[in-house]
Structure 1
Amino acid sequence: MQKTANVAVPARPRARPGWSARLGPYLYVLPAALFVTVFMLYPMVATLIQSFTDDNGLNKANFIGLGNYESFFTDPNSLNSFKNTLLWVIGAVTLPVGLGFSFALLLERLPGAAFFKSSVFLPYTISGTVAAILFGYVLDADNGILNSALRAIGLGALTHRWLFEAPQNTWSMIAAYTWQATGTNLMIFLIGLQGLPREPLEAAKIDGASGWTYTSKILIPMLRPFLTINILMAAINGFKAFDLIWVMTQGGPARSSETLAVTMYRESFVLFKQGYGASIAVIISVVALVFSYGYLQSTFKKES
């Protein structure tokens, strides 16, 4: 019986996709790329260029090189605002993050803690302007709730003009920010705690870990990603603190409570020195980026 030979059929070449198919993926990305270019990259480049000019928003801008930056580092008001910004970063990182972590540890184990969680988180749902107005009444020197309460319990010697003495005015506003921002830190830490694997936690307790040892050696390392998020967000919020300060003191008295963001706004839109204000915006961005990069690098090294 004669065998039939197997004849290999040559594969048909695959048709190359048309130009519309090749451009399809880029069309999906195009809206996002345009958004980033128009609303992020272009303003960044324009602000950087403007920082080298004497632009005042009215006359033709002239190139002055590093003149604005030299003025910043020789201006006592700008240096004071830089110091206040550092105080804001320190306060925004230590107080809301520390309280949020502490409350998370307490409320995770507390039965019926939903009311307390909502109470701590509720201030975050209001705007910074509303929080500033509220604490303006609380910290008023004459009829404020805080001073009135101190007088009522016989501690009148502890009353102060909370918003009129530096650096006390800055710390008073940081306290108002802490009241508003602790809730979001609490919720992020609670999410982290609820997602932790229970086996290593129970094993640590069986081995005798408790108290600060359990928290520092077990919980904090396991919660490091959430801690990194909260610290980074708090530091960035400290660098750009503006609305609460502007409503409560407008940077006063005598510009003693200004931060870099408030100084940038005053120089750009009150004094119409927009070139100088742009240089302050560049300085804020550079300092925040350097801090963020350094902090993330140190965090990644610890994790590795």
Structure 2
Amino acid sequence: MTITTGRPAPATSHRRGRVRQERLTAAAFLLPALALCVVLLYIPFVYTSYLSLTEFNGLGDPEFVGLDKYEEMFSDARILTSMVNTLIWVVGTLVLPVGLGLFIAVMVHGLRGSFWYRLPFLLPYAISGIAVGVIFSFILQTGGALTQALELFGLPFADARWLLDWPLNTIVMIVAATWQGAGVNALLFSVGLQSIPKEPVEAAMVDGAKGWTMFRHITWPMLAPMTTVVVGLSIVGSLKTFDIVWGMTQGGPGRVSETLAITMYKASFMLNDYGLGAAVALLLTVVTVTASLLYLRRQLAPAKEF
């Protein structure tokens, strides 16, 4: 006959104590990171959300005005233009820097010394966005280097106002961003290509697949994980575009080339309308997070089925 004392067995008690100690240790390591996130992310987000509901010029106390700043934001034609420009940046970034990066990576993959083919495209990534903007501003400004070269050789578009007319100015700024970012995209795609197993490629080659057929049915599907990373980073980066635009046009002329990030900066720090700037910042945050989550959810959904 077994007599139960009601006390846990020593081994069970020791195991529970060890689990409790491990949880406390994990919490001790997580708390600094959690505190940092709260201080640097969540508190500013909550305060920005509050400011977006106020009239505040940086002096005195914010005056609560409800949704007036959001109504002003969606009724201002200049801000609506910056929304359109931001959308153009998203589409243009996916087509040019990502597309060109993929093309470069596929073209040099498997070649001896492929690193040296990618290097000229990778070097501009080491230059800051403001510096890229200054360089291309010198080239594309009225009477600049490009205009003089076209006039010298008698080529068309010598009279084009590259940085003055919309949407041409937005398009040429996306080209500048492509010069800076295509190389790093090519590098990421090259890493993805090197991780593709050789067996499916060799089997497809035995079946006679090559060129576009090989890329469409073998390379591109197996490159999907890296494509998810590159496209996701490009979407987030294009939504927050600031430095190249500021370096080339500062959103002008007449604010026609502004993006939402430029609009947010001007409203807050040049016009001292912190309520409107906070509303634009909140809109930009919501759009960026929503676009990222929707894209990642769609891309990672098939993986959840396995």
TM-score for the superposition, normalised by structure 1: 0.91
1:179 corresponds to 2:179 = yes
Aligned equivalent of 2:139: 138
Distance 1:12 1:255, change over 3 A: closer
The aligned amino acid for 2:277 is G
Q: Which amino acid aligns with 2:87?
A: L
For the residue of structure 1 that corresponds to 2:65, the secondary structure is coil
**Distance of 2:229 and 2:22 partners within structure 1:** 40
Query: Contact (CA 8 Å) 2:232, 2:292: kept in 1 or not?
Result: yes
Residue 164 (structure 2) aligns with: 164
Q: 1:97, 1:234 within 8 Å by CA — same for their partners in 2?
A: yes
Task: Give, in angstroms, the shift of residue 109 of structure 1.
Answer: 2.6
Map of 1:40 onto structure 2: 41
Moved more, 171-180 or 54-63: 54-63
Aligned to 2:202: 202
Kept after mapping to 2: 8 A contact 1:147/1:156: no
Structure 2 residue aligned with 1:294: 294
Q: 1:26 to 1:97 in 2, by over 3 A?
A: same
Give the corresponding residue for 1:250. 250
Following TM superposition, by how much is the alpha carbon of 1:189 offset from its aligned partner in structure 2, in angstroms?
0.3
Structure showing greater Rg: 1
8 Å Cα contact 1:100-1:183 kept in structure 2? yes
- Distance (whole Å) between structure 2 residues aligned to residue 102 and residue 180 of structure 1: 16
- The residue aligned with 1:6 is none
SS for the counterpart of 1:109 is coil
Aligned to 1:213: 213
State which drifts further: 79-88 or 213-222: 213-222
Q: TM-score, normalised by structure 2?
A: 0.91
CA deviation profile, 1:47-100 (whole Å, cap 9, x unmatched): 111111112111211111111111111000110000000001111111100000
Point out where structure 2 has 5 or more consecutive residues left out of the alignment: 1-7
Match of 2:259 in 1: 259
Q: Percent of aligned pairs with the same residue?
A: 41
1:1-304 matches, within 5 Å, as 12=10, 14=13, 17=17, 23-142=24-143, 144-301=144-301, 304=305
Structure 1 runs, 4 residues or longer, greater than 4 Å off = 10-22
Q: Report the Cα distance in structure 2 between the residues aligned to 1:185 and 1:170, rounded to whole angstroms.
A: 21
Moved more, 193-202 or 284-293: 284-293
Residues 240, 261 of structure 2: 8 Å contact kept: yes
Report the AA paired with residue 222 of structure 1: M
Query: Offset at 1:158?
Result: 4.2
| 1:106 Cα deviation after fit | 0.9
Paired residues in the alignment total 294
- CA drift of 1:157 comes to 4.2
- Measure how far apart 1:12 and its partner are: 4.2
Please tell me the residue identity of whatever aligns with 1:294. Answer: L
Change in CA separation of 1:140 and 1:22 when aligned onto 2, cut-off 3 Å: closer
Counterpart of 2:222, as a letter, is: M
List gaps (5 residues or longer) in structure 1: 1-9
| 1:191 Cα offset (Å) | 0.4
Give the CA RMSD over aligned residues: 1.9
1:23 is displaced (CA, Å) by 3.2
